[in-house]
Structure 1
């Protein structure tokens, strides 16, 4: 009898422990004990990239690391979660991440689903061309050129529908494919956010091969996405971003990640309260 009682008590304790663990894992969205889950891109050089050795690099990664430290999480307490463009809102709303830093442009449609801290970066839609090509200096020049972007890109449609309707638009599966085409002269230009273009052009193996034209075909304010209504977290992140600018870290990080491309970046945008 005694043995049965002890066994029953032990089993009950295990059940209670498992129940507590299960409840605790979802009680603080995006956090796991003393760690924090942050969404970034894994495939954007210069912004958010998972390197072959399993490390993470880029401007967004550096910004997220700085913010996390201000929130009380050292770098070794960060769990990086892949945040593809189409999944960013879901990751936030489901509590899979505490916040997302992933070339996440603030717009009215997204603000209906999530809140944003920031912005922390202002970029524009631009063109990347070969370094020795001086035939494209304005968007109208694309009317007689082959333009590349990724399938479904709003940047490509912006050019095709509004700015250079006679451009020969080639839509490929990824930016790396467009870069190969640009290098091989199969296409004449690649379009997306200037920050993304600068990130690719800054890669060691590509330095000196391409240049940004320097156009400003749209305004893209990158913000940090977080759960709607979490005003306390939003306020803390905004405070961290303001400190990052005032202590000089922001500019150092921009130069570190985009400098080799010759990217002429905008000053840090004012945080929106």
Structure 2
């Protein structure tokens, strides 16, 4: 009887150990499956209203961010039909990452301390600078951020660009709300706005689009911030972050990133930085 009980006790211990091991292995597998570094398919959040950066045209996304997203995905081993783009906005990026609706966000996504509380960032893959876009007829009247006092300035929900001017710099600009930067462009051209202030790459794209329809706009070329464009990633995905950083480094080392910058912004008159930015760190 004692021997039988001993055998039963030993069997119970072995069974418990097996369950524990299985649970641990499952946890490891789940962790690996959750990282973008191990995915066979990627859903990438992008903008759809920023010409030259991320724009939806004829059912297809195009722009600098779109090409960067494709390159990163390819260097992670995912390409073709396994890369799916999903539209995000300044107001929805964090929520969509947290909810798992997107795996990455490549959408002129400036790294800020507030955003780093909610999501992680790889990169940055470029450092833009906030500037001002005006009608050519107003170029003599608006030469710097200080000239925006009392003038109508576009405010996009969820974007930090208007607060940078109004709150951080203390410039009493008058907000005019828009859903996105295409709306800002339409309002500027129509005269409802006096200026649009956001990242210079976005402004260059907006100016290029306006010139195509005969509208004359100009960038003031008086930058007043650094805007590091990071790749948004689920909070805590260190392996994924490091893999994306490796991809970005490779894009600069082999000349891909400078080539894409030249393709989309070479004719804009902006000074483009062709060297890899200093990374934020994957913590």
Provide the C-alpha distance between the structure 2 equivalents of 1:136 and 1:250, rounded to a whole number of angstroms: 33
Q: Give the superposition deviation at 1:57.
A: 0.4
Three-state SS of the structure 1 residue aligned to 2:114 is helix
> Match of 2:95?
90
Of 102-111 and 237-246, more deviation after overlay is shown by 102-111
Q: Give the superposition deviation at 1:173.
A: 4.0
Q: Is the 8 A contact 1:244 1:250 kept in 2?
A: yes
Describe the shift of the 1:227–1:177 C-alpha distance in structure 2 as closer, same or farther (beyond 3 A). Answer: closer
> Match of 2:67?
62
Q: Is the 8 A contact 2:257 2:274 kept in 1?
A: no
Q: Which consecutive unaligned segments of at least 5 residues does structure 2 have?
A: 1-28
Describe the shift of the 1:123–1:167 C-alpha distance in structure 2 as closer, same or farther (beyond 3 A). Answer: same
In the superposition, the TM-score normalised over structure 1's length comes to 0.79
Of 29-38 and 174-183, more deviation after overlay is shown by 29-38
Q: Give the superposition deviation at 1:143.
A: 2.7
> Match of 1:99?
104
Q: Is the 8 A contact 1:145 1:167 kept in 2?
A: yes
1:245 aligns with 2:260: no
1:236 aligns with 2:243: yes
* Bigger Rg, structure 1 or 2: 2
Three-state SS of the structure 2 residue aligned to 1:116 is strand
Three-state SS of the structure 2 residue aligned to 1:89 is helix
Superposed CA deviations along residues 245-265 of structure 1, whole A, max 9, x for unmatched, are 111111111122223432223
Provide the C-alpha distance between the structure 2 equivalents of 1:220 and 1:130, rounded to a whole number of angstroms: 24
Provide the C-alpha distance between the structure 1 equivalents of 2:111 and 2:96, rounded to a whole number of angstroms: 16
> Match of 2:52?
46
Three-state SS of the structure 2 residue aligned to 1:39 is strand
Q: Is the 8 A contact 2:189 2:215 kept in 1?
A: no
Provide the C-alpha distance between the structure 2 equivalents of 1:258 and 1:35, rounded to a whole number of angstroms: 30
Provide the C-alpha distance between the structure 1 equivalents of 2:200 and 2:233, rounded to a whole number of angstroms: 24
> Match of 1:35?
41
1:121-140 equivalence runs, <5 A: 121-132=126-137, 133-140=139-146
Q: Is the 8 A contact 2:54 2:64 kept in 1?
A: yes
1:72 aligns with 2:80: no
Of 70-79 and 167-176, more deviation after overlay is shown by 167-176
> Match of 1:150?
156
**RMSD in angstroms over aligned alpha carbons?**
2.9
Superposed CA deviations along residues 81-112 of structure 1, whole A, max 9, x for unmatched, are 22222222232223332211111111222222
Describe the shift of the 1:200–1:97 C-alpha distance in structure 2 as closer, same or farther (beyond 3 A). Answer: same
Three-state SS of the structure 2 residue aligned to 1:195 is helix
> Match of 2:268?
261
Q: May I ask how many residue pairs the two structures share in their alignment?
A: 249
> Match of 2:278?
270
